[in-house]
Amino acid sequence: MKPIASNRSKKDQLVNRARMLISCPDRPGIVAAVSQFLSEHGANIVQSDQYTMDPEGGMFFIRIEFDLDQLTARLPQLENDFAPVAERFSMNWSISPASKKKRLAILVSKEDHCLLELLWQWQAGDLYADIALVISNHPDMRELVESFGIPYYHIPVTPETKAEAEAKQIELIRGQADVIILARYMQIISPEFLKHYPNQLINIHHSFLPAFVGGKPYAQAYDRGVKLIGATAHYVTEELDGGPIIEQDVQRVSHRDNVDDLKRIGRHIERIVLARAVSWHVEDRILVYQNRTVVFV
Amino acid sequence: MKPIASNRSKKDQLVNRARMLISCPDRPGIVAAVSQFLSEHGANIVQSDQYTMDPEGGMFFIRIEFDLDQLTARLPQLENDFAPVAERFSMNWSISPASKKKRLAILVSKEDHCLLELLWQWQAGDLYADIALVISNHPDMRELVESFGIPYYHIPVTPETKAEAEAKQIELIRGQADVIILARYMQIISPEFLKHYPNQLINIHHSFLPAFVGGKPYAQAYDRGVKLIGATAHYVTEELDGGPIIEQDVQRVSHRDNVDDLKRIGRHIERIVLARAVSWHVEDRILVYQNRTVVFV
Amino acid sequence: MKPIASNRSKKDQLVNRARMLISCPDRPGIVAAVSQFLSEHGANIVQSDQYTMDPEGGMFFIRIEFDLDQLTARLPQLENDFAPVAERFSMNWSISPASKKKRLAILVSKEDHCLLELLWQWQAGDLYADIALVISNHPDMRELVESFGIPYYHIPVTPETKAEAEAKQIELIRGQADVIILARYMQIISPEFLKHYPNQLINIHHSFLPAFVGGKPYAQAYDRGVKLIGATAHYVTEELDGGPIIEQDVQRVSHRDNVDDLKRIGRHIERIVLARAVSWHVEDRILVYQNRTVVFV
Amino acid sequence: MKPIASNRSKKDQLVNRARMLISCPDRPGIVAAVSQFLSEHGANIVQSDQYTMDPEGGMFFIRIEFDLDQLTARLPQLENDFAPVAERFSMNWSISPASKKKRLAILVSKEDHCLLELLWQWQAGDLYADIALVISNHPDMRELVESFGIPYYHIPVTPETKAEAEAKQIELIRGQADVIILARYMQIISPEFLKHYPNQLINIHHSFLPAFVGGKPYAQAYDRGVKLIGATAHYVTEELDGGPIIEQDVQRVSHRDNVDDLKRIGRHIERIVLARAVSWHVEDRILVYQNRTVVFV
> What is the average pLDDT across A158-186?
95
Question: Is C59 part of the contact surface with chain A (CB cutoff 8 Å)?
Answer: no
Supply the mean pLDDT for chain B. Answer: 92
List of domains in chain A: 10-97 (3.30.70.260), 102-295 (3.40.50.170)
Compute how many other C-beta atoms are within 10 angstroms of the C-beta atom of residue C158: 9
In whole angstroms, how far apart are CA D263 and each of D161, D251, D260, D267? 30, 12, 5, 6
The reported pLDDT for the residue numbered A196 is 87
Q: Are A226 and A205 in contact (CB under 8 A)?
A: no
Note the pLDDT of residue C53.
83
Q: How far apart are CA D74 and CA D15, in angstroms?
A: 12
Inter-chain contact A124–D113, Cβ cutoff 8 Å?
yes
How many CB pairs below 8 Å do chains B and D form together? 56
Neighbours of A5 (CB within 10 A): 9
pLDDT over 70, % of chain C: 94
| B52 DSSP assignment | E
pLDDT at C4 over 80: no
For residue C146, give Cα distances in angstroms to B43, B117, C3, C168, C266: 50, 20, 11, 20, 27
Using 50, 70 and 90 to split pLDDT, how confident is the model at B46?
A: confident
Predicted local distance difference test score (pLDDT) of residue D28? 85
Average pLDDT over residues C216-244: 96
Chain mean pLDDT for chain D: 92
Angle at C124 between CA C121 and CA C129, to 5 degrees: 60
Q: Do A52 and C31 touch (CB under 8 A)?
A: no
CA-based nearest distance A292→chain B, Å: 5
Which residues is A292 bridged to in the sheet? Answer: A289
Cβ-Cβ contacts under 8 Å, C1 against chain B:
1, 143-144, 147
Closest CA to B62 of B45, B50, B46, B47: B50
Task: Provide the Cα torsion B178, B184, B189, B194; round to 10°.
Answer: 30
Is C226's Cβ below 8 Å from some Cβ in D?
yes
pLDDT of residue A11: 45
Torsion sign across C-alpha atoms A135, A136, A142, A145:
negative
CB B181 within 8 A of CB B105: yes
φ/ψ region of C42 (left if φ > 0, alpha if ψ in -120 to 50, else beta) reads left
The pairing of beta strand C92-97 with beta strand C17-25: antiparallel
What is residue A3's predicted lDDT score, i.e. its pLDDT?
30
CB D108 within 8 A of CB D183: yes
Q: CA C263: distance to chain centroid?
A: 23
Distances (CA, A) of D252 to C273, D209, D228, D269: 13, 16, 4, 11
* β-bridge partners, C232: C205, C248
At residue A4, does pLDDT exceed 80? no
Chain B residues touching residue A210 (CB < 8 angstroms): 211-212, 224, 226
Measure CB to CB from residue D147 to each of A1, A4, A10 and give the nearest one. A1
pLDDT digits (tens, 9 = 90+) for B113-133: 999 999 999 999 999 999 999
**In whole angstroms, how large is the CA radius of gyration of chain A?**
21
Digit-coded pLDDT (tens) for A270-280: 999 999 999 99
> Which of A11, A24, A38, A39 to substitute to test the interface with C, most C CBs within 10 Å?
A39
| Residues of B whose CB is below 8 A from A208 | 208, 211, 228
Q: Rounded to an integer, what distance in angstroms lies between the CA atom of residue A169 and that of residue A138? A: 14
Q: How are beta strands A92-97 and C92-97 bridged, if at all? A: unpaired
Sign of CA dihedral A241, A246, A247, A248: positive
Average pLDDT over residues A200-205: 97
Phi, psi of C78 (to 5 degrees): -60, -45
Q: Is A1 helix (H, G, I), strand (E, B) or coil?
A: coil
- List D112, D130, D178, D241, catalytic entry: D241
Cα pseudo-dihedral A226, A230, A236, A240, rounded to 10: 10
Q: In angstroms, what separates the C-alpha of B292 from chain A's closest C-alpha? A: 5
Q: Which of these, B296, B254, B247, B297, lies nearest to B270 by C-alpha position? A: B247
pLDDT band for D196, please (50, 70, 90 cuts).
confident
Half-sphere exposure of D9 (CA within 13 A, CB side): 22
Q: What is the mean pLDDT of chain C?
A: 92
pLDDT digits over C152-200, tens only?
Answer: 999 999 999 999 999 999 999 999 999 999 999 999 999 989 988 989 9
Provide the pLDDT for residue B56: 63
Cis peptide before A210 (omega within 30 of 0): yes
Q: Tell me, yes or no, if D31 comes closer than 8 A to chain A by beta carbon.
A: no
Band the pLDDT of D6: cuts 50, 70, 90.
very low
Residue tagged active-site, from C241, C257, C260, C284: C241
C-alpha neighbours within 13 Å on the C-beta side of residue D223: 8
- Is a pLDDT exceeding 90 seen at residue A237? yes
| β partners of residue C287 | C294
Q: Is the pLDDT of residue D208 over 70?
A: yes
The stretch C30-36 carries a mean pLDDT of 91
According to the per-residue pLDDT averaged within each range, which of B246-250, D5-9, D25-29, D46-50 is highest? B246-250
End-to-end alpha-carbon separation of chain A, Å? 32
Within 13 Å and on the Cβ side, how many CA atoms surround D148?
24
CA separation for the pair B210, B232 (Å, rounded) = 9
Helices (H) and strands (E) in chain A, counts: 8, 13
By percentage, how much of chain D surpasses pLDDT 90?
Answer: 86
Q: What confidence tens digit (pLDDT) does each residue in A26-82 have?
A: 988 899 899 999 999 999 888 899 998 865 678 999 999 999 999 999 999 999 999
pLDDT tier at A6 (50, 70, 90 boundaries)?
very low
C56 band by pLDDT with thresholds 50, 70 and 90: low
Q: What is the mean pLDDT of chain A?
A: 92
Q: Where are the alpha helices (DSSP H) in A70-212?
A: 71-88, 113-123, 142-147, 162-173, 191-196
Closest-CA residue of C relative to B268 is C272
**Highest-confidence range of C51-55, D54-58, D204-208, by mean pLDDT?**
D204-208
Q: Are D222 and D262 in contact (CB under 8 A)?
A: yes
Q: What is the pLDDT of residue A215?
A: 86
Q: Which segments of chain D are extended strands (E)?
A: 17-25, 44-52, 59-67, 92-97, 102-108, 129-136, 152-154, 179-182, 201-205, 228-235, 245-252, 286-289, 292-295
pLDDT by residue (tens digit) across A116-165? 999 999 999 999 999 999 999 999 999 999 999 999 999 999 999 999 99
Q: Contact at 8 Å (CB) between D243 and D203? A: yes
- Asked if D241 is an active-site residue, the reply is yes
Q: Is the pLDDT of residue D11 over 80?
A: no
* Marked catalytic residue, from A241, A249, A260, A261: A241
The answer to whether residue D225 neighbours chain C at the CB level (below 8 Å) is: yes
Q: Tell me, what's the pLDDT at D56?
A: 63
Q: How far is C45 from chain A (nearest CA, A)?
A: 7
Closest by alpha carbon to C263, among C207, C201, C199? C207
Note whether B206 and B217 are within 8 A (CB).
Answer: yes
Q: What is the pLDDT of residue A198?
A: 87
User: Which residue of chain A is at minimal alpha-carbon distance from C252?
Assistant: A252
pLDDT of D62 above 60: yes
CB-based contact B31:D48 (threshold 8 Å): yes
Cβ D204 vs Cβ D233: under 8 Å: yes
A14 pLDDT band, cuts 50/70/90, is confident
Is pLDDT at B25 greater than 70 in this prediction? yes
Which among A126, A260, A264 is the nearest to D264, CB-wise?
A126
Rounded CA gap, B49 and B297, in Å? 9
Which of A28, A30, A35 faces C31 most closely, judged by CB atoms? A35
